[in-house]
Amino acid sequence: MAEYPEGCVDTSDSVLGILYLPRPIIQEIMSCLPPQVATQTSVLSKDWNHAFNTLPALEFDEETFRSKDVGGHDADIKNDTFLEYVNGYITRRREHDLTIDSMSLLAFSKGEKLHLVVPKWINIASRLNLRDLTLGRIVDYPDRRYYLHRCPDLVSDTVSVLNVSHLSMQGVKTRLPRLEELVLHRVGESEDVLNELMLSCPALRRVELIGCYSFTDLLICGPKLKAFEASGVLQINSLAISAPNLKSFRLTAAYNIGPPDGWLSTLQLHGAQNLRELTLDLCMVGIRKVREAISRLRLLETLRLKGSWHAERIRITHKNLKHLVLTRFRSLKR
């Protein structure tokens, strides 16, 4: 029997013993580990390696392959190595017909090469029942050059959750008939793609926009849409909602100052009769438009208003309103 220094315990039997648990439990354990830890664990034994390789959640992080002060030809080699690794990993999944529930690809530092291979990877993963897809860049704030890197075309018959961050959506082609949840975080040129997804994804239930700055005309629609949130908006001209099952709507600005009537010229809520919770920023929407809007929302229960420097008096009357929350008001008069 091997001897160990005082205070050290041989855990090899316990680690290997976990492998006798049902595979879904093993995969749940490994899914809670950071990618680097899970990778290190997979080399403990052939059994652990098999458990890691059959994990239905794939997470590819380009930072794992990047060294500091790498540039020029060496940087190209690093990038190619990363692409080869991901391609080989996904291809082996297809060869062994292993399920892929979720896939996260945080790369795109050199997006041109990725444009050729990412659609192929999405196609392979979709054949293996891909449900949750995340694409984006790792950006050191305040680096704002994310819009220089274009998101690849998004075509999948199985994806239900899509999360895109720090990429440009200009000219991106989409076909996601089963999409239920959409999150766009600091993406550029997103208006056309967003409107297209709203119109072409009948299963869409939730949309969240974070730091997607400017919109001209935005139509919020969908027969099953229940929640819409846009935060950090810089400018929007007109907004219309046609979503009969929408329960929660939030719109907040990226700044604290705006004109007395707000930047939004048109706000139409005729198609949101079942709305229960409404959050608006008076920097975006003037108080007159707010009163007009809530007068049509008979089922509204919660109203949250974020103030602007121009807001001095607020008068809200509503028959069914239960909660009124006011934040960022500095000069209200009684």
For residue range 63-98, list pLDDT tens digits in order: 665 544 444 445 555 667 778 888 888 888 888 888
Of residues 6 and 139, more confidence is placed in 139
Q: Identify the band that residue 157 occupies on the pLDDT scale cut at 50, 70 and 90.
A: very high
Of residues 57 and 117, more confidence is placed in 117
Q: What is the dihedral of CA 73, 76, 80, 81, to 10 degrees?
A: 70
Report pLDDT for 299. 93
Report pLDDT for 25. 67
Report pLDDT for 320. 86
Angle between helices 72-95 and 111-127 (to 10 degrees): 10
Report whether pLDDT(330) > 50. Answer: yes
Distance from C-alpha of 259 to C-alpha of 20, rounded to nearest angstrom: 65
Report pLDDT for 10. 44
Tokens linked to 92: 């082996």
Residue type, 300: L
Q: Residue count of the chain, please give it.
A: 334
Q: Identify the band that residue 230 occupies on the pLDDT scale cut at 50, 70 and 90.
A: very high
Read off the pLDDT of each residue in 287-309 and give the average, rounded to a whole number: 86
Report whether pLDDT(58) > 90. Answer: no
Q: What is the dihedral of CA 323, 324, 328, 333, to 10 degrees?
A: -150
Q: What is the DSSP letter of 162?
A: E
Of residues 274 and 42, more confidence is placed in 274
Rounded to 5 degrees, φ, ψ at 265 are -85, -35
3-state helix vs strand vs coil in the chain, percent to 5 = 30, 25, 45
Report pLDDT for 173. 92
Of residues 104 and 38, more confidence is placed in 104
| Nearest residue to 251 via CA among 187, 304, 180 | 304
Report pLDDT for 72. 46
Separation in Å, CA 276 to CA 243, 320, 323: 13, 10, 11
Task: Judge residue 165's burial from the number of C-beta atoms within 10 Å of its C-beta, 0-12 exposed, 13-18 middle, 19 or more buried.
Answer: buried
Report whether pLDDT(178) > 90. Answer: yes
Report whether pLDDT(293) > 70. Answer: yes
Query: Coil, strand, or helix at residue 213?
Result: coil
Report pLDDT for 331. 59
Query: Coil, strand, or helix at residue 177?
Result: coil
The answer to whether 114 and 107 are in contact (CB under 8 A) is: yes
Task: Judge residue 88's burial from the number of C-beta atoms within 10 Å of its C-beta, 0-12 exposed, 13-18 middle, 19 or more buried.
Answer: exposed
Rounded to 5 degrees, φ, ψ at 129 are 70, 40
ω before 244 within 30° of 0 (cis)? no
Separation in Å, CA 207 to CA 156, 194, 261, 280: 18, 9, 26, 16
- pLDDT tens-digit map of 125-150: 999 999 999 998 866 544 455 556 78
Report pLDDT for 177. 96
Of residues 291 and 311, more confidence is placed in 291
pLDDT above 90 covers a percentage of the chain that reads 31
Report whether pLDDT(321) > 70. Answer: yes
Q: What is the DSSP letter of 245?
A: T
User: Rounded mean pLDDT of the chain?
Assistant: 79
Distance from C-alpha of 187 to C-alpha of 198, rounded to nearest angstrom: 17
Report whether pLDDT(2) > 60. Answer: no
Read off the pLDDT of each residue in 5-16 and give the average, rounded to a whole number: 48
Report pLDDT for 255. 79
Residue type, 329: F
**Which helix (H) or strand (E) covers residue 165, if one does?**
strand 161-165
Q: Identify the band that residue 21 occupies on the pLDDT scale cut at 50, 70 and 90.
A: low
- pLDDT tens-digit map of 235-269: 888 999 999 999 999 999 887 776 767 778 888 88
Full-model pTM: 0.79
